[in-house]
Amino acid sequence: MIKEIFKTLILIAIIYFLFIFEISYLSFFTFFSILFPLVLLINVLEEPQGRVGLYAAFFFGLILDIYSTHFIGLLALSFSISSLLLKFILFKYVRIPSLSWMPKI
């Protein structure tokens, strides 16, 4: 339990500092977000029952809400629900082949 709380706190800190970096320093160089694909990738790559992707989506949405003109919680909840739906779709309908059949070098 303590380990999980610790992991979540580290995740929040990473997302927060990456977000601050993105809205202040990177806004001169690119229009595209680096955090959005990162959160999406975590959700796609982790196993369906994992919670890291869900937490990442929630905190990324929450920080986006706070640092924009939206209502607080709008994107946080939207991203969380999207994360759950994505995991559900990936689990139920998507089959990704493993590469275990490839000859080992």
Torsion of CA 2, 77, 64, 45, to 10 degrees: 60
Interface residue with other proteins among 7, 9, 10, 67 (CB under 8 A) is 67
Among 33, 38, 52, 82, contact with other proteins (rule: CB under 8 A): 33
Q: Is 27 in the site for other proteins (CB under 8 A)?
A: yes
CB neighbours of 79 closer than 8 A, spacing ≥ 6?
39, 57, 58, 60, 61
Two tokens at 76? 């946080």
**Residues 1, 2, 5, 29: which binds other proteins (CB under 8 A)?**
29
Say how far apart CA 2 and CA 54 lie, in whole Å: 18
Q: Shortest Cβ distance from residue 77 to other proteins (Å)?
A: 6
Residues making contact with other proteins (CB under 8 A):
20-29, 31, 33, 47-49, 64, 66-69, 71-74, 76-77, 80-81, 84, 87-88, 91, 94-98, 100-101
